[in-house]
Chains A and B, each alone.
Chain A
Amino acid sequence: MSDNKIINWFKYASPQSFYPLAGKMIPWFWALAALFTIAGLWISFFVAPTDATQGEGYRIIFIHVPAAWMSMFLYCVMAAWAGIGLALNTRLSGMMAQAIAPTGAVMAFLSLWTGAFWGKPMWGAWWVWDARLTSALILFFLYIGFIALQAAIDDARRADKAGAILALVGAVNVPIIYWSVKWWNTLHQGASVSVMKAPAMATTMLWGMLVMAIAFWMYAIALVLTRVRAIILEREAHTEWVKELPEVKGNGQ
């Protein structure tokens, strides 16, 4: 576009130039996600040994741990996009935050759900008020609050900004919530089981978990990019460049 050699960092901040770029990236991330999922599942089912104390049931951690990691990581990414959107007033940042939220919520839910499946055979209970479980639950609530707030505001720009403030307030609160819940848990001493006390892991188990984490990561990126493309189309539907898109033109008439 411009002749100078400086990289234009803001080139892809415009929805118009980001839309085709995202379209090109999506298949790659889907492919990577599939690849790592296959490798990860293969390691977790066929390579990783049976756990000495937990038997075969432990294998759910190959889904559970990556989902929990992603739920926390995605909240940070969402808050970061929200902060960038507020500071630089870029439209795409708000769209990214909006696109990340549902995936983050699903990850949080998935980690709670699989955690319950893991807890039943290991602890004998679907749910214990462990510090980690409780803070994961609250993280899930924070995601739901963000999604609900954005859904309630009709004006997209206001929804972005209001959501950004909520995400940032949430991000400040997440560590406070985590430590307070941890303190609360040690006080009550109700749940004697702790996720922390997991025995040292075999290397292959760790590898399985890492590969699965990468798979989840790639999956999340592919999904978020797909969703952000849909959001771009929705919000920019009135613009000329969207009307000129072959996929829109074909369906329009």
Chain B
Amino acid sequence: MNASFASVLAIIRRDLLLAMRRKSEVLTALFFFIIVVSLFPLGIGPEPALLKKIAPGILWVAALLATMLGLARLFAPDHADGTLEQMVLSPTPLGLLIAGKIAAHWITTGLPLVLLAPVLGIQFDLNTEALGILVIALLLGTPLLSLIGAIGAALTLGLRGGGVLLSLLVLPLYVPTLIFGAGAVEMVVSGMSAAGHLSLLAAMLAMALFFAPWATTAALRIALE
């Protein structure tokens, strides 16, 4: 038990270290997020009332797309250099190791979005309360995006046009997260309680925490056969 826990931590540490050595990948996704969010006002017009209304949706859609960017690289480098085979052979259950990789993916792509979102939210004239809920919703929602996305990443591992295919597979599955995530912020903006939305997000996260690493593992085993 302790040994497996240690190897999960080792996987997380290793992936974070790799990300730190290749900062550009993490930063690219982050700046993609910022640029996409900034493009919407340019396309729609500078009216504060309208922008305030659509801000939650814009921030969430941009977060979905930014998470997608990193997904294609979630397993590909490990697959290319044979690390993934070693993980399959290791005595530690593969599901745990994969959970570690997903956690590292979230720390490098999801967490920065959570921290950055309030700053972008200010651009859209969201008040403090809405910004707080935005952070909480993203905190619950971005791990969910990483977990669901990992299944798609495992399924498309090593395929032609994997990146585009990945978005085709994963984006429809992101719909509930988007609805409840953006919905939570919208509720606060229109003066209601976001508790229901946040509870549902948390419930989906709990379910995905259990099932997603399992499905990802099954998909990886198929890809490595």
Contacts and interface: CB of A to CB of B under 8 A. Distances in A.
Interface of A: 138, 141-142, 144-145, 148-149, 152-153, 157-158, 161-162, 165-166, 168-170, 172-173, 176-177, 180-181, 183-184, 187
Interface string B24-50: 000000000000000000000000000
A153 B173 contact: no
Contacts of A161: 222
Contacts of B171: 141
Contacts of B215: 165, 168-169
A172 B210 CA distance: 13
B88 interface: no
Contacts of B200: 180
A162 B173 contact: no
A138 to B, nearest CB: 5
Interface string B149-170: 0010001100111100100110
Contact of B175 (A152, A158, A162, A181): A181
Contact of A183 (B179, B186, B219): B179
A177 B176 CA distance: 6
Nearest to A172: B211
A162 B179 contact: no
B223 interface: yes
A133 B218 CA distance: 33
Interface in B174-225: 175-176, 179-180, 183, 186-187, 200, 204, 211, 215, 218-219, 222-223, 225
Contact of A145 (B160, B169, B218): B169
A187 B189 CA distance: 13
Nearest to B212: A169
B82 interface: no
A162 B222 contact: yes
Nearest to B167: A145
Contacts of B155: 149, 162, 165-166
Shortest Cβ-Cβ A-B pairs, 9 listed: A180-B176, A141-B172, A184-B179, A161-B222, A145-B169, A180-B179, A152-B159, A145-B168, A162-B155
Contacts of B183: 183-184, 187
Contacts of A168: 215
A112 to B, nearest CB: 14
Contacts of A149: 155-156, 165, 169
B78 to A, nearest CB: 18
Given A145-B168, A145-B169, A165 B176 contact: no
Interface of B: 151, 155-156, 159-162, 165, 168-169, 171-173, 175-176, 179-180, 183, 186-187, 200, 204, 211, 215, 218-219, 222-223, 225
B175 A166 contact: no
A145 B204 CA distance: 22
B182 to A, nearest CB: 9
A181 B156 contact: no
B154 to A, nearest CB: 8
Contacts of A172: 211
Given A158-B225, A183-B180, 8 more contacts: A149-B155, A152-B156, A157-B225, A165-B151, A165-B222, A172-B211, A180-B179, A183-B179
Contacts of A181: 175, 179
Nearest to B225: A158
Contact of B172 (A138, A153, A157, A187): A138
A79 B156 CA distance: 19
Contacts of B159: 152-153
A207 B159 CA distance: 48
A180 B156 CA distance: 27
Task: Name, among B161, B165, B168, B200, the residue most crowded by chain A CB atoms within 10 Å (CB to CB).
Answer: B168
Contacts of A141: 168, 171-172
B95 to A, nearest CB: 14
